[in-house]
Amino acid sequence: MTARSSVGRAVVFSCRYALVIMPRPHDRQPDIQRTTHRDARITTMSELRAIIFDFDGVIADTEPLHFAALRQVLAGIEISLTEAEYYTDYLGFDDRGCFLAALQAHQRQASPTLLGELMEHKAHAYLAAVKQHLAIFPGVRELVHEAAARYPLAIASGALRNEIELILEEAGLRRAFLHITSAEDVTRGKPAPDPFLHAMAGLNSQPNQPALSPNDCLVIEDSLPGIRAARAAGMKVLAVANTHTVQDLGEADAITHSLADTRLQDLQARLWGAAQGRP
């Protein structure tokens, strides 16, 4: 990653595909730069009309809890899991995908019965931890409330529905989202596009909602499988570097270090064009 230029008081760095805005110390109003992708779908101009959030690692700082619960359950069947392995190989998968990957990596049979038992044990361990540790990332509440006043919002996550609902209710954010797509709603999780397409369909089913197309949707993600899923769905992606480094997220259309640094007007102007989108 090399220094490219400066915009206002923010320092702009170039990755392989995306442009990254890194605010200088005490500068909390970075610009968001548009990037040119080799994928022709990204060049089709539409307008920002809906936002779909990932959940774990974007809204809630729950990945350490997922890791601890997954490691605890795997230890029960004599499979060890390190933190480095989790963040490198498992982040972005739903629970079923995590257990499948772990079993396959250790040459274990993954029967439906075993998978069901492991997922149930992990869900119990995770919910117990969540009740003692609720952490919402900086800037999330402010961005969600601002966005909900302007656009229909949805969540597309590999987490279980009751996990998502619990945290959103505790954080006072549940009413901001018109639709939630959870692990129970799709057969294929990320990096397949199904979760995001399902979320868009959920928004389209809302009363008096003008029909959305993928080009109208912005996805906010934190993982490479999630970024690839969104792009496979034909949607634009803002990556937030909560769980991965900036260098790992270069396939997104734009990258921010924190949602506290994100301005919807900047995203609208840079990714869709200044003359388009809502005022």
Q: What is the pLDDT of residues 94-138, one digit of tens each?
A: 899 999 999 999 999 999 999 999 999 999 998 888 877 878 999
Residue 161 in contact with residue 193, Cβ under 8 Å? no
d(CA 252, CA 237): 5
What tokens does 17 get? 């595909």
Residue 227 in contact with residue 221, Cβ under 8 Å? yes
What is the pLDDT, as a whole number, of residue 219?
98
DSSP state of 137: P
What is the pLDDT, as a whole number, of residue 134?
76
Tell me phi and psi for residue 45, to 5 degrees.
-85, 130
DSSP state of 154: E
List the one residue out of 56, 97, 69 whose CA is nearest residue 194.
97
Q: Which domains does the chain have, with CATH numbers?
A: 30-60+135-272 (3.40.50.1000), 63-130 (1.10.150.240)
191 cis-preceded (ω within 30 degrees of 0): yes
What is the pLDDT, as a whole number, of residue 92?
79
What is the pLDDT, as a whole number, of residue 20?
58
Residue 180 in contact with residue 211, Cβ under 8 Å? no
List the one residue out of 257, 265, 225, 266 whose CA is nearest residue 239.
257
Tell me phi and psi for residue 101, to 5 degrees.
-65, -40
What is the pLDDT, as a whole number, of residue 7?
36
List the one residue out of 262, 265, 215 whose CA is nearest residue 58.
262
What is the pLDDT, as a whole number, of residue 165?
94
Residue 110 in contact with residue 103, Cβ under 8 Å? yes
Question: In the chain, which stretches have pLDDT less than 50?
Answer: 1-17, 19, 21-44, 275-277, 279
List the one residue out of 154, 145, 125 whose CA is nearest residue 66.
125
What is the pLDDT, as a whole number, of residue 274?
62
What is the pLDDT, as a whole number, of residue 135?
85
Question: In sequence order, what are the beta bridge partners of 23?
Answer: 10
**Residue type at 117 in one-letter notation:** E
Q: What does DSSP say about strands 10-14 and 19-23: parallel, antiparallel, or unpaired?
A: antiparallel
| pTM for the predicted model, two decimal places | 0.73
Q: What is the pLDDT of residues 57-102, one digit of tens each?
A: 999 998 888 899 999 999 999 999 999 999 889 987 889 999 999 9
Token pair 């923010």: residue: 10
